[in-house]
Amino acid sequence: MPELPEVETLRRALEHRLQGKTVQTVVIHYTPLVRQPSAEALSQVLPGQRLEAVQRRGKYLLWQWTDYTLVVHLRMEGKFWFGWSEHVQAKHVHAVLTFTDGTVLLYQDVRKFGTWDLVPKGKLHFVPGLEKLGPEPLATDFTPERLARQLAGHARSMIKSALLNQQVVAGLGNIYVDEALFLAKIHPERRVGTLQRRHVKSLHAAMVDVLQRGLAAGGASVRTYRHSNGEEGGFQHQLSVYGREGEPCRRCGQPIRRIVVAGRGTHFCPRCQRLPRSR
C-alpha cells in the first residue's frame, strides 16, 4: 500500500501537471470505485471543473476542484499515470480523466480496493474516516510530546499495531513503521505502556527521518508502486529491515527476522531490537 512518502510524491506530480486545467470528460469503467455520489453522477458533474490544488491528508489525496473535493484512497495498489487515448482500454484501468488541453490521466488498480468520494467543498465530514485521522508526522507541530499524547490511550497495544492505527498517526504503513522501529531500536511487539520518554523521543526522530528520506527518494517501489510517469521510486534500495528476511542486519550482521504483528508481516533485527523481559 502506498504510504505517506509515496502518496506525497504522487500529489506533487499531479498538482504540477494538472493544476489550473479543466476536465473535459470522465469515464468510469469500474463503477464500485466511486462510493459517492455514484460513478454516473461523478461523470456528469466533474466535466467543466477546474483543478485548483491537490492536497494530501494521511494516505488520502484531496483534489480541490471549482465546486467539489474528490477524495481518493489508493488502498493496496491504486495508481495514477499519464497516458494517451490509446491507453484507455489498458488492463485494470478503471477510470480515465481527459482535460481540455488533451492531457489524459488514467487510474489503474489491480486489486480494485481503491475508493473515490466526490463531495461538495467544505463537506469532508461526508467521507468516512477522514476527520478521525491522527496528526501528520512531518508537520511542524508533531513533536515527541504530541506523539506521546497520541500513544497514551494505547498502553496495552504493541507499538507496531499502535503506529499502524491511522487515528494515532496519519500516513504510516508497514514499510515505514518497520524502518522507524529499527532505527529507534524498539521491538515491534513491545507494549506501548513500557516505553519511556527517551524511547518515544527516539521513535519520533526515527519516524521523521525515515519519512523524509523516503520522500526524498520518491518513495519505495516494493510492489507495484510507480510514479505518475511510470518510473520507480528509490527508497527500496535504502531499506534496513523491510522485505529483508534472512539477510544480515546492516548494523550488527544478525539475520533479519519476519513475524506477524496485528496481522501484518513485520521485519526486525532480533539483536538490535530486543524485547524487554517481563517483570
- Catalytic, 123? Answer no
Return d(Cα 134, Cα 37) in angstroms, integer.
26
Would you list the DSSP string of 77-98? T-EEEEE-GGGTTSTTEEEEEE
Catalytic residue from among 3, 8, 15, 77: 3
Residue type, 276: P
Residue that has been written with the C-alpha cell 487515528 in this structure? 167
Residue 264 annotated as catalytic:
yes
Measure the CA–CA gap between 183 and 207, rounded to whole angstroms: 8
Q: Rounded to 10 degrees, what is the CA torsion of 250, 252, 255, 259? A: -90
Q: Out of 2, 5, 135, 137, pick the active-site residue.
A: 2
Residue 59: active-site member: yes
Q: Annotated catalytic residue: which of 50, 57, 251, 264? A: 264
Let me know: does 228 contact 220? Beta carbons within 8 Å: no
> Is-catalytic flag, 8?
no
Query: Helix crossing, 144-151 with 197-216: angle to 10°?
Result: 110
Amino acid at 197: R
Paired strand residues for 264: 261
**Three-state helix/strand/coil letters over 132-178:** HCCCCCCCCCCCHHHHHHHHHHHCCCEHHHHHHCCCCCCCCCHHHHH
Q: Which of 108, 64, 75, 97 is nearest to 6 (CA)?
A: 75
Which grid cell sits at 72? Answer: 481518493
Residue 128, preceding peptide bond in cis (omega within 30° of 0): no
Candidates 11, 56, 59, 226; catalytic one: 59
Active site residues: 2-3, 59, 264
